[in-house]
Chains A and B, each alone.
Chain A
Amino acid sequence: KAGVTQTPRYLIKTRGQQVTLSCSPISGHRSVSWYQQTPGQGLQFLFEYFSETQRNKGNFPGRFSGRQFSNSRSEMNVSTLELGDSALYLCASSLSAGGLSKTQYFGPGTRLLVL
């Protein structure tokens, strides 16, 4: 089975712009979560989607949003980019939401640099 894929892998934007990142989960996986990784804050949870519904949201401003499509693919959007948004954005997929299927598989991430 192919793993979690994320596109693009690298992105350079300037302050004030917006960006959309894409994630394709492992085939058959219906839950997708997003995380931000920075040297200072470590790995922080952004949001979780299951069956096109946001189930949980982390402590990030409203500039961060996401969605999930009927094929379980997910996108996250960051509007009005700030320098502090520079980070590695990771997507993780799992078979279902909660319950016994807690194993999450991470993609390689999208490295975003905001200038």
Chain B
Amino acid sequence: QQQVKQSPQSLIVQKGGISIINCAYENTAFDYFPWYQQFPGKGPALLIAIRPDVSEKKEGRFTISFNKSAKQFSLHIMDSQPGDSATYFCAATFQGAQKLVFGQGTRLTINP
């Protein structure tokens, strides 16, 4: 019940295309859903985050879509660039807690 399931495991997108990564959760006690980007040899960096009372949040080329009834959320990267090639993690936290429950990660490759 504490799991966050992420798909796909790996994704190859052409430059300029849209990258879409999906996550699903079971526990309705989650109240905060961040996405992190990690480059090799670096720690995860926060990209964008959403709370369940919002259905969509956009920051630059990055958009989170949130479907509370389906218990799913996704990251869309518009106009994907080679510099976006990294591993992406979705995560969730419980109300009143800082503990992040991470998805398994998606290795994204943007072909030039």
Q: For the complex, what is the distance from the CA of A99 to the CA of B93, rounded to whole Å?
A: 11
- Chain A residues 50-105 with CB under 8 Å of chain B are 50, 55-56, 58, 90, 92, 94, 97-99, 102-105
**Among B14-22, B60-68, B96-104, which stretch is in contact with chain A?**
B96-104
Return chain A residues, CB-CB under 8 Å to B102.
42-44
Return chain B residues, CB-CB under 8 Å to A104.
34, 46, 98, 100
Return chain B residues, CB-CB under 8 Å to A98.
95-98
Q: For the complex, what is the distance from the CA of A7 to the CA of B109, rounded to whole Å?
A: 31
Contact B49 A103 (CB under 8 A): yes
**Beyond A33-B100, A45-B99, A48-B98, is A106–B44 a contact (Cβ under 8 Å)?**
yes
In this complex, what residue of B is CB-closest to A32? B98
- How close is B97's CB to chain A, nearest CB, in angstroms? 6
The A contact surface, by secondary structure, is strand
In this complex, what residue of B is CB-closest to A47? B99
Contact B89 A106 (CB under 8 A): no
Q: Within 8 Å of chain A (Cβ to Cβ): is B43?
A: yes
Q: Within 8 Å of chain B (Cβ to Cβ): is A109?
A: yes
Chain A positions within 8 Å of B, measured between CB atoms, are: 4, 31, 33, 35, 42-45, 48, 50, 55-56, 58, 90, 92, 94, 97-99, 102-109
What are 29 inter-chain pairs, A to B, with CB distance below 8 A?
A4-B43, A33-B100, A35-B100, A42-B103, A42-B104, A42-B105, A43-B44, A43-B89, A43-B91, A44-B102, A45-B101, A55-B97, A56-B97, A56-B99, A90-B44, A92-B43, A92-B100, A94-B98, A97-B98, A98-B95, A98-B98, A102-B34, A103-B46, A104-B46, A104-B100, A105-B46, A106-B36, A106-B45, A107-B43
